[in-house]
Amino acid sequence: MKYEALKSIMLLLLVAASGILTWSLWTYQPKYEYDDKKYVHEISIADQVDAVSVIKPTRVLVHMDDSHFGTVNEKNIDKLINNISSWNFYDIGSARKFTNQQIHQLSHSKNRIEITYPDLVPFDLYKGVIHLETDNFPNAAFNRIVINLDNDTTEGSIYFISTKDEIVYESHVNPDRISALVAEIKRNKDKYDQYSPYKLPKSERIMFLPSESKELVRYKYYPFYIDPEKFKNALFSDPSKVRRVIKANGEKFTDDLSLMDVDYMTNMIFYINPGQKSGTVLKNTDNHVLKRSINFINEHGGWTDHYRYFNIGDFDQKTTFQLFMNGYPVFNENGITEIRLSWGNEEIYQYKRPYFSLDIPLPGQTKVRVPSGEIALNTLLEDAELNPELLQELMIGYKLGKDSTNPKVLVLEPSWYYLYAGSWLPLDVDDERRKFSGLE
């Protein structure tokens, strides 16, 4: 009897507890915490990169004894930069003003290594390579590093040069480091191309160009298209408030403050925040814009292909990152191989970029023989309207276009390109190419 009574009491307690719990659930009102902070969202379209991975030299040129040889090969250049990043730089002296002729003499004398960058690189952003013992980096930038290979002093001299401002900074390292570098370059000399100097007419300028023709791969790719919605979610402060409008050849996203246009024909997006329009002038010594640009793209993992820093505006807050293939820049007349940023007072003002990546290379790639630098330069100078003083650069690149037999396939065609009055233009040397390669 006592056992049955105990069971009845336990059952009664369980029923009571269940009733209390049910009543609590019905009557419970949670205390919500409201956050008045700005809408925050995170999205990663591709990988993030560090500054040194984006800021790379376009060429290394070695002036040794009476010969000149160089490379644009990314593996060779990375090996050299990794070597330099292990050095300890004792100091960086004050800026010295040099003439163009003095810079030429300093860069191209015997026993020099000349490392050329596409545009100005702030010292502060290159700390991953330049390890300065004093840590007092100048508030300045350079676009060329020259290493003096002569070891007739107790200190090895390194020069950081801004050819735009005609400014030179001198630093020093242990000469044994330079001796080891010279020995390594001599061992790997067969991996470099021979270069020759060519004097431009009506000018004292000299261009160093490949002495021989070069065989390069003509690549074909199936592109991978990234959903523009991902960029919408990354660029707008509150994607839930963004309206989408379908157009004839694209679509438009807007939240009344910003706008993003998607062009189906070029596979480009163009984002603009009109309220951020700024007339701020960018100083060459200001690394803020380049650093902000790299960080901005990193925030949404926008490095969808192998893009590298290529240009910074001299008088505005614009930065350009160019697509590269095996050390060669890739160009397109519609700008679909570029990521362009323009900054306002506080935030991004304009952002223009492709929404595809080179995904799947097609098998059976063919090769094309690109003519020598001498042939390219002579072809260029045949144009009677060309002003040699406006010719800034001449280099091999790739032209990105659609395959004539299958428009879904993208073709990267090796070609000579020249920088003329601030614009990169293709150089047509097909006749000379056929003569050298036997192609029809």
Q: Quick one: 387 exposed, middle or buried, by C-beta within 10 A (0-12, 13-18, 19+)?
A: exposed
The pLDDT > 70 percentage for the chain reads: 85
Residues 376 and 345 in one domain: no
Look up the pTM and report it.
Answer: 0.86
Answer whether residue 429 is part of any domain.
yes
| pLDDT over threshold 70, residue 71 | yes
Residues 56 and 193 in one domain: yes
Element (H, E) at 21: helix 2-27
Any idea which residue has 């002579």 for tokens? 378
Residue 273 phi/psi, 5-degree rounding, is: -120, 85
Answer whether residue 39 is part of any domain.
no
Q: How far apart are the first and last CA of the chain?
A: 110
Domain endpoint, select from 298, 329, 357: 357
Residues 367 and 336 in one domain: no
- Do β-strands 391-402 and 410-420 pair in parallel, antiparallel, or remain unpaired? antiparallel
Any idea which residue has 């191209």 for tokens? 108
Taking only the tens place, the pLDDT of each residue in 201-228 is 888 789 999 999 999 999 999 999 999 9
Residues 230 and 95 in one domain: no
**In degrees to the nearest 10, what's the CA dihedral of 64, 68, 72, 76?**
-30
Average pLDDT of the residues in 296-316: 92
Answer whether residue 30 is part of any domain.
no
Residues 146 and 190 in one domain: yes
| C-beta neighbour count of 408 within 10 angstroms | 8
Q: What is the DSSP string of 179-226?
A: HHHHHHHHHTGGGSEEEEEEEPTTSS-EEEEESS-EEEEEEEEEEEEP
| pLDDT over threshold 90, residue 28 | no
Instruction: Take residue 326 and report the two structure tokens written for it.
Output: 């095996």
Residues 289 and 313 in one domain: yes
Residue 82 phi/psi, 5-degree rounding, is: -65, -35
Answer whether residue 134 is part of any domain.
yes
Residues 6+ apart with CB under 8 A from 258: 235, 236, 271, 272, 273, 274
Residue 408: which CATH number? 3.10.450
Residues 6+ apart with CB under 8 A from 394: 207, 209, 373, 376, 377, 380, 416, 417, 418, 419, 427
Range of the domain at 123: 51-197
Residues 6+ apart with CB under 8 A from 176: none
Residue 288: which CATH number? 3.30.310.160
Across 52-77, b (16+ Cβ under 10 Å) vs e yields bbbbbbbbbbbbbeeebbbbbbbebb
| pLDDT over threshold 80, residue 40 | no
Answer whether residue 371 is part of any domain.
yes
Answer whether residue 377 is part of any domain.
yes
Residues 234 and 336 in one domain: yes
Please report the pLDDT score of residue 280 as a whole number: 60
Residues 415 and 395 in one domain: yes
Predicted confidence band of residue 150 (pLDDT cuts 50, 70, 90):
confident
Residues 68 and 108 in one domain: yes
Answer whether residue 368 is part of any domain.
yes
Instruction: Take residue 232 and report the two structure tokens written for it.
Output: 């919408």
| pLDDT over threshold 80, residue 421 | yes
Residues 256 and 149 in one domain: no
Residues 304 and 416 in one domain: no
DSSP SS3 for 103: helix
Domain endpoint, select from 357, 387, 413: 357
| pLDDT over threshold 80, residue 285 | no
Q: Which residues are bridge partners to 293 per DSSP?
A: none
Number of domains in the chain: 3
Residues 134 and 232 in one domain: no
Domain endpoint, select from 357, 383, 407: 357
| pLDDT over threshold 60, residue 18 | no
Answer whether residue 153 is part of any domain.
yes
